[in-house]
Chains A and B, each alone.
Chain A
Amino acid sequence: MRELSLNILDITENSLKAKATLVEIDVTVVGNLLTIVIKDNGCGMSKEFLAKVTDPYTTTRTTRSVGLGIPLIKMEAEMSGGSFEIQSTVGVGTTVTTTFAVDHIDRPPLGDVGETIMTLLTELNDTRIVFTYYANGQSFCFDTLELQQQLEGIPLDTPEILQFVKQLINENMNTINGGMLL
């Protein structure tokens, strides 16, 4: 993956497939540590499946027997001086936590997070997505529930609304970053 935001999109797709009604995406930068946490309340995984979930030859997809989403983000974290952890309980949900050393030469850029969140909002049905960004002592939170309350019945995935969401997230993140490129 060229950007970590693409991994966020990919892992969150798993949460949606697990029928989560709440997905919390946290991106936090403290000192030299970039942490990405994706937490859902979806169907969760059994201990047996969890044990082999980082194996590329483990997948739930039916089109072929290879699943690279989890192995890719794990590899990217580990090759950029970070860590990977996954916790899951059947009926409770799954949490994927990855860390990256900000200054590591092999760390992919964070990339276009606004575009990632926007992409996730189409045909979301009743799932709530909460994205929180924290860096330089400031934070920004985007919550689909809060947006829906403003929309008064207009669908979240109206193209004009999606364009707005992308700009909203990217502008706020850029302001927090103060010109620093992550």
Chain B
Amino acid sequence: MKTIADIQAIRDKMKSQIVVRDKDTSDEIRVIVGMATCGISAGARPVFNTLMDEVANRQLKNVKVVRTGCLGMCTLEPIVEVLEPGKEKVTYCRVTPAKAKEIIDRHIVGGNICTQYLINNEE
């Protein structure tokens, strides 16, 4: 069974990479997930978990996945915002784990916005 001491192996592996990352946060991409009651009940937690897994597995060092409160459009949750330095904010709505995976793959890694999931399509 895992114990908290098992983290040491991961920690030592991370150490060298962390130094490099700390030098520069100006290129940090922030992926923000709405995590108020509305977001959580609509499925924001598995979306958050998928984003986190993708970032970890693909070793995306300049991407930070964070939570926020209610974004004011509860019926469109789960909502994911992507903030890239020097670019306009991109807002996705009704995100599922599958869509989250696609957003990482096509938008964060590939640089192409997944226009079919944009909040702009909703009226």
Q: Report which A residues bind B (CB closer than 8 A).
A: 1, 6, 9-10, 13, 17, 61, 63-64, 67-69, 72, 112, 115-116, 118-119, 122-123, 142, 146-147, 150-155, 158-164, 166-168, 171-172, 175
Contact = CB atoms under 8 A, between A and B. Distances in A.
B95 interface: no
B71 interface: yes
Contacts of A150: 4-5, 7-8, 11
30 contacts: A1-B40, A6-B40, A6-B41, A9-B35, A9-B40, A10-B40, A13-B35, A61-B70, A63-B71, A64-B70, A64-B72, A112-B45, A115-B45, A115-B49, A118-B49, A119-B45, A119-B67, A150-B7, A154-B15, A154-B18, A159-B56, A160-B10, A161-B10, A161-B11, A162-B56, A166-B49, A168-B2, A168-B3, A171-B1, A172-B1
Nearest to A146: B4
Given A6-B40, A161-B11, 14 more contacts: A1-B40, A13-B67, A64-B72, A69-B37, A72-B37, A112-B45, A115-B46, A116-B45, A146-B4, A147-B4, A151-B7, A154-B14, A158-B18, A168-B2
B82 interface: no
A153 B14 CA distance: 11
B76 interface: no
A172 B2 contact: yes
B93 interface: no
A67 B36 CA distance: 10
A158 B14 contact: yes
B14 A161 contact: yes
A17 B1 CA distance: 34
B28 to A, nearest CB: 13
Contact of A13 (B10, B14, B36, B52): B36
A119 B18 contact: no
B113 interface: no
Interface in B20-76: 35-38, 40-41, 45-46, 48-49, 52-53, 55-56, 65-67, 69-72, 74
